[in-house]
Amino acid sequence: MAGKLSLIKILIALTLILLCSTAVSAQQSRQQVAILLSDSEQAYLKPVSAFSNEIGMEVQVYNLQGDLRRDPRLMDKLLASRPSLIFALGAKAAYAAKLWTHQHQEIPVIFAMVLNWQKYNFLKGQDNMSGIASEVAPGIQFLNLSMFVPTARRIGIIYSPEHSREIVVLAREAAALLKLELREHPISSPAEFKAAYRQLASQVDGFWLLNDPFTYTVENMDWMQARCIKDRLVCIGQGSNLAEIGMMLSVLPDIDNIGTQAASMARNILRGQLPKDVGVMESLGTRILLNQRTAARIGISLSAQALGMATEVME
C-alpha cells in the first residue's frame, strides 16, 4: 500500500513538473518584441522592416500617433503583451518607453532616430535604457576625410559654444585619435561666420561643418561652398544637401542600417548583455556622398578605389 502511495506521489510530482515546464515553454514561445513608434513617419518604415525581419521573434508594432495622450490605453496594451524588449523610434517613443518601463525595468529598451538624444537624459535613473545615436560621430567624418584626402591634416571648425560645445569635445578626442589638428573658432551669432572663416582659411586644409544653427544657414552654406572652391579647401559635413550644393564630402548615417544594428543589439541584450553596458552606440552604418566635380575643382584627384568606397558619387 505504502509503495502504491509513493508511486502516486511521484507521478503527481512528475505531472506538476511537466505542467510547469509546458507553461514556461508556452510563455517563452509567445515571447515577443514591441516596436513603439512616435508617429507614422515614413523614415521609420525601413528600420521597422529590417528589425522585424532580423530579430527572429514575433513583433508587435504600437504607434503613439504623435501624442502620448492620444490613446490612453496604449501603455496598458503594450505592457499586457509582456514584451521581451521595446524598440522605440523617435524622441516621443523613447520618452514613452522610458516612462512606461519605470516600474518595469526588467523590460530592456533600445531607442533610435532621436536627434540630440543627449538632451533628453534617457539613460539617467534607469538601467534598462540603451540606444543608437542619430548623428554620425565626428570621428567617422574625420576618418572619411583622411581616407579621401590623406593630405588634409589641419581641420577648421566654426561653432557656437551655446549649441555645439559637447560635439566639439568629441571632435577633439577623435582628431587626437586620428592625429589630426583641429583649429577652432567659436562664434556667438551667424553674422560672425564669414569673418571666422577668413581668419581660419589660411591655417587649415579643410573645414568640418557642424549642424549648428549659427553656422548652418542657407546664406553661410552658399557662401562657404563658393569660398572653399576658390580657396581650394576640402569641406565635409553630414547634411545630404551639402555634397549636392557643392561641398566635397558628406557622411550621413545609413538609416536603412539602423534596424539591422538594433536587431543585433536586441539579440545581445536578450542573451544577457546588460542595456546599461550597451549604453548609446554610435550609428555604425554610413552613407558617403562624394562630389567628384568639386574634388576636381579644388585639385584633388580621386582614384578608382576612392570612388568605389563612396556610396554615391556626384559627377
Q: Which residues bind other proteins (CB under 8 A)?
A: 46, 49-50, 53-54, 56, 137, 139-140, 143-144, 146-148, 150, 174, 177-179, 254, 256-257, 259-261, 263-265, 267-268, 273, 281-282, 284-286, 288, 303-313
Give the integer Cα–Cα distance in Å for 290 and 295: 8
Q: H helices of the chain, where?
A: 2-29, 45-55, 74-80, 91-100, 138-148, 161-177, 193-201, 218-230, 240-245, 255-270, 275-278, 292-297, 304-309
Q: Which is nearer to other proteins, 81 or 264 (CB)?
A: 264
Q: Which is nearer to other proteins, 201 or 306 (CB)?
A: 306
Q: Which is nearer to other proteins, 73 or 179 (CB)?
A: 179
Which backbone phi and psi does 152 adopt, to 5 degrees? -80, 105
Minimal distance, residue 235 CB to other proteins, in Å: 18
Q: Which is nearer to other proteins, 50 or 168 (CB)?
A: 50
Q: Which is nearer to other proteins, 32 or 264 (CB)?
A: 264
Minimal distance, residue 124 CB to other proteins, in Å: 22
Exposed (0-12), middle (13-18) or buried (19+): which is 306, by Cβ within 10 Å? middle
Which backbone phi and psi does 29 adopt, to 5 degrees? -70, -20
Give the integer Cα–Cα distance in Å for 81 and 252: 36
Give the integer Cα–Cα distance in Å for 220 and 151: 26
Maximum CA pair distance of the chain?
104
Beta-carbon contacts of residue 230 (< 8 Å; ≥ 6 apart): none
Minimal distance, residue 164 CB to other proteins, in Å: 19
Give the integer Cα–Cα distance in Å for 45 and 60: 14
Minimal distance, residue 289 CB to other proteins, in Å: 11
Q: Which is nearer to other proteins, 90 or 259 (CB)?
A: 259
Q: Which is nearer to other proteins, 29 or 202 (CB)?
A: 29
Cell numbers 502516486 correspond to 8
Beta-carbon contacts of residue 47 (< 8 Å; ≥ 6 apart): 89, 112, 113, 255, 256, 258, 259, 262
Minimal distance, residue 81 CB to other proteins, in Å: 22
Partnered with residue 129 across adjacent β-strands are 109
Q: Which is nearer to other proteins, 164 or 257 (CB)?
A: 257
Minimal distance, residue 157 CB to other proteins, in Å: 18
Minimal distance, residue 4 CB to other proteins, in Å: 47
Minimal distance, residue 16 CB to other proteins, in Å: 33
Residue type, 77: K
